[in-house]
Amino acid sequence: MTQTILVVEDSKSLRTMVKSYLTEEGFRVVTAANGREALFVAREEKPDLVILDLMMPELNGYEFMRVYSREADTPVIMLTAKLEENDKVLGLELGADDYVTKPFSPRELTARVRAVLRRVGKQAADPELLRAAGIEVDRAGRLVMVRGQPVELTPFEFDLLATLMTAPGRVFSRLDLLRHLQGTAYEGYERNIDVHIRHLRMKIETDPADPRCIETVYGVGYRFTANI
């Protein structure tokens, strides 16, 4: 089940950037430009996590937390440009689960989001059985069927295919795939992904020279296409 993230930020450009990146990471993202709007959206959407700017018009982040924490037990990650220790302490005392100081990298924010969701027990579970495009992946039994026939994959190939199939249509960069498969992205090994993709295509594609299941997105990475 896709998890919903509410991004509350008065800067339109930052709000758009965060929404775009988290959407690419597989989350459903809703937004609000101020605290009052955030209360309305949160009550309607019931998000799994809130990313909250502290300094906002109409109703600031602290006031939002005071009100919303009485209504829902939703984890909050604070966004703040302030470096004063008191601001962070006040936010944490009001119930925030983590904070990120501006400027920040989208990758860092995503890592914080996943860590908080995991910590509070809201990390979405990947389905055990994946089916698409004539391919069936049994994650628990580590079995793969392609058009009704069993296919032997190496452990890395299996995990690579399962990762791509958990989010059909999403483009994974090579570093994204390494991060998912190894836990940490090793830039020096980035191109090894291409070798594994080539071997995987030879085992699951009808025509490996004209792949339809695993597409190359030039300059970016790879995606699994279910609609073939």
Same domain, 65 and 88: yes
For residue range 24-64, list pLDDT tens digits in order.
888 889 999 998 999 999 999 999 999 998 888 788 888 88
Residue 193 is predicted with a pLDDT of: 86
Same domain, 147 and 191: yes
Task: Note the pTM of the prediction, 2 decimals.
Answer: 0.55
Tell me whether strands 49-53 and 76-80 are parallel, antiparallel or unpaired: parallel
Give CA separation, 180 vs 98, 163, 203, in Å. 23, 7, 22
Beta bridge partners of 131: 136
- Structure tokens belonging to residue 173: 């960069």
Answer whether residue 72 shows pLDDT above 80: yes
Same domain, 78 and 172: no
Same domain, 82 and 158: no
Same domain, 109 and 133: no
Among the three residues 87, 119, 151, which one is the final residue of a domain in this structure? 119
Same domain, 92 and 138: no
Could you tell me if residue 184 is inside a domain? Answer: yes
- Average pLDDT estimate for 83-105: 73
Could you tell me if residue 54 is inside a domain? Answer: yes
> What is the tally of structural domains in the chain?
2
CATH number of the domain at 31, please.
Answer: 3.40.50.2300
Alpha-carbon span 9 to 61, nearest angstrom: 9
Closest CA to 72 of 93, 34, 46: 46
Length of the chain: 228
Q: What phi and psi values does residue 213 have, to the nearest 5 degrees?
A: -85, -50
Among the three residues 92, 119, 146, which one is the final residue of a domain in this structure? 119
Residue with tokens 């994650």: 139
Could you tell me if residue 124 is inside a domain? Answer: no
For residue range 129-166, list pLDDT tens digits in order.
888 888 999 988 889 999 889 999 988 899 899 989 88
Q: What is the DSSP letter of 46?
A: -
Q: Is 197 helix (H, G, I), strand (E, B) or coil?
A: helix
* Domain of 145, in residue numbers: 129-224
